[in-house]
Structure 1
Amino acid sequence: MTKTQPPMIIVVGASAGGMQATANLSAQFPKDFPAAIFIVNHMGADNNGDVLAKVFNESGGLTCEQAHDEQPFQSGHIYLAPPDQHMLLVEGKILVTKGARENRYRPAIDPLFRSAAVAYGNRVIGIILTGYLDDGTSGMMAIKQCGGVCIVQDPLDAAYPDMPQSVIANVGADYCLPVAEMGMLLSDLVRRKLPRRKQPPKDIVIEAEIAQRVLSDLPAVKAIGEQVPFNCPDCGGVLWQIEGDFLRYRCHTGHAFTSAVLLAQQTAKIEETLWVALRMFEERQNLIATMGQSHGSSSSSVSQRVQDSQIHIDRIRAMLKATHKDNHDEVAKG
């Protein structure tokens, strides 16, 4: 790597259905591929990322490994974000952090994409593959604003088209194609001659720095947004609406949400609260009946109190059924 000719960087984000899609993509790279590839695939904290690395190493021509903090990277290698940690890029090396979740995930796609955009500007190629909701859209906006290239999987080719569709609708894709056709395109793009890179916008730099610090940063979030009367569903802190056309929110501890993810989180919290309320009303009803039997209370009084509790139980059950239907409809829309 030289200062006059920085490497090309390819950053890839995937969620539901992403293991197969990223494996199909990695199999297309030749051994002499002149760029480094970084992949975030949404996964649970208890997943073993070595399984995915093994699949890539067996199916493709490039060496694949889980990323490590402060690790220098090189072209012709694939680096995977490890479970329950964000993968970020700075000049010439990888950072692996335990920062706040973004869009409910760690690793998340947006932090990687933003950090790559700030560090490498127009030498970044971003790719969004299959997945629910819209993680990756904000990060892809950063890549485009810094002069990079936007590629999305054709929604008709994606197992779950939400994420590619969100990028198309909110950013606009430079290329939209099936995964099977991406290898040839990327081989052409990484060999282009590029103009001199420009300075990244200040707001993107601030958000990239928030992900690196892993610390509360009230001045930073105040600089890029306006406080709103909503609370963070992860930590309970107040939220700031981030300036821009794509509706997003941040709390000062680092949690970040698109409007779609915030709504999904609020719905999940409401459902959790309703289940607790249902359990408590059923326990109360049983306790009233038990006390009536034990103390010889008036049967009509006990019966009335039991009936009153049943009214609340029925209402909560009706709300839970409605919440379940709303969730099912949202998934069906995707």
Structure 2
Amino acid sequence: MRTAGRDVIVVAASAGGVEPLRTVLSGLPPDLPAALLVVLHVPPQSSSVLANILDRAGPLKAAPAENAEPVRPGRVYVARPDHHLLLHGGRTRLSRGPRQNGHRPAADPLFMSAALDAGPRAAAVVLSGTLDDGAKGCEVIDRYGGAVAVQDCAECAFPGMPRAAVSAVPDATILPVREIAAWIQQQSRTPVSTEDHVYNGDMEKEIALFLREVPALTDPDGDLIAFSCPECGGPIYEQEGAAAPRFICRVGHAWSRDSMIDAQSDSVERALWVAIQRLEERLRVLERMRRSAADRGQYLSSSYFQDEEQRTREAVETIRLLQSRIGRSGDTLLSG
């Protein structure tokens, strides 16, 4: 069986992605025979105005996605803050399921659900953003017969996401952002065959986690490894991927290689700040003890406390130096 074209277009962006999104939407016609589902990384407490911005960008109607809303051509469905956006049974689904790559909403759940629901009728677009959310989703879209396009890294404010998508799907189409709208129109009008059905039980099980009303623990496929989840502290399983491994815990928090390193950097930095606070508190205690001993003529004790002060001060300086060298997205101490 053949369809008139790819009628489900999933789009992901992060840092530096709002203006490219506007550019893409401005180039699409009002009679586009496809629906767009858009994820932009936003803080959970934000009152995102992205839907309003995109609604004014072009002729297509853009609005925050509602749960169980039928997906119709010529519409733009925008993920809400702190909710994953998925496609299931031809309808949008909103989920407060586990964060993916440290984000909710995240690109991977949307892309994977679109691949499962629409198969070769799905197409993915990845715009400017840091790290690699969406790369696994692009790999799945491609495996299910869909198409993938990314913004040219040379013009991206933050090229991490497009670069990771190309690494996962080497045959992905690389375009300047001004040409992506034309690519979407071409995909929406290029007939595709839907006869070959790809079944992936593991992927369906993972997406089912987001569709449950009540969260539940699972035993993910993959090898149990000696890592802990940066989000919940639970055990982590490693799953092999075409381009890079993926890590998932029993709760369902999933991490790409880069997002895992980034999140672990955050955890280590927080731990180092706690250590610095405790050592500085120890310094204040030792100083007080030294002065008290000196006032009482207990010079041996005063000398001991002074030596401890010096050792503690050196420890604080060492940890401060280490803390300053642990950075996000480019960590050299932890990723080596």
Structure-2-length-normalised TM-score: 0.91
Match runs of 1:70-81 below 5 Å:
70-81=68-79
Unaligned residue ranges in structure 1 (runs of 5+):
none
Q: CA deviation at 1:260?
A: 1.1
Checking the alignment, whether the CA contact within 8 Å between 2:35 and 2:76 is kept in structure 1 is: yes
- Quote the Cα distance in structure 2 between the aligned partners of 1:273 and 1:102: 23
Q: CA deviation at 1:216?
A: 2.8
Q: Which of residues 228, 231, 234 is equivalent to 2:225?
A: 228
Question: 1:66 matched to which residue of 2?
Answer: 64
Checking the alignment, whether the CA contact within 8 Å between 1:7 and 1:36 is kept in structure 2 is: no
- Indicate the SS of the match to 1:230: strand
- Quote the Cα distance in structure 2 between the aligned partners of 1:302 and 1:6: 77
- Quote the Cα distance in structure 2 between the aligned partners of 1:84 and 1:218: 22
Larger helix fraction of residues: 1
Q: CA deviation at 1:4?
A: 7.9
Q: CA deviation at 1:329?
A: 6.4
Tell me whether 1:142 sits opposite 2:140 in the alignment: yes
Q: Which of residues 52, 61, 83 is equivalent to 1:85?
A: 83
Checking the alignment, whether the CA contact within 8 Å between 1:117 and 1:200 is kept in structure 2 is: no
Q: CA deviation at 1:201?
A: 3.2
Unaligned residue ranges in structure 2 (runs of 5+):
none
Question: 1:251 matched to which residue of 2?
Answer: 249
Q: CA deviation at 1:179?
A: 1.1
Q: Which of residues 182, 186, 192 is equivalent to 2:190?
A: 192
Question: 2:288 matched to which residue of 1?
Answer: 290
Identity, % of aligned pairs? 33
Question: 2:98 matched to which residue of 1?
Answer: 100
Checking the alignment, whether the CA contact within 8 Å between 2:5 and 2:188 is kept in structure 1 is: no
Task: Please list the CA deviations of residues 14-60 of structure 1 after superposition, one character each: whole Å capped at 9, or x if unmatched.
Answer: 111011111111111111111100000011112222x2111112121
Q: CA deviation at 1:6?
A: 9.2
Match runs of 1:110-259 below 5 Å:
110-202=108-200, 203-213=202-212, 215-219=215-219, 221=220, 224-245=221-242, 246-259=244-257
Higher relative contact order (CA 8 A, sep 6+): 2
Structure-1-length-normalised TM-score: 0.91
Checking the alignment, whether the CA contact within 8 Å between 2:5 and 2:191 is kept in structure 1 is: no
Question: 2:22 matched to which residue of 1?
Answer: 23
Amino acid at match of 1:29: L
What count of residue pairs does the alignment treat as equivalent? 323
Amino acid at match of 1:235: C
Task: Please list the CA deviations of residues 122-180 of structure 1 after superposition, one character each: whole Å capped at 9, or x if unmatched.
Answer: 00010111111110000011101111001111111211111111111221243110110
Question: 1:46 matched to which residue of 2?
Answer: 45
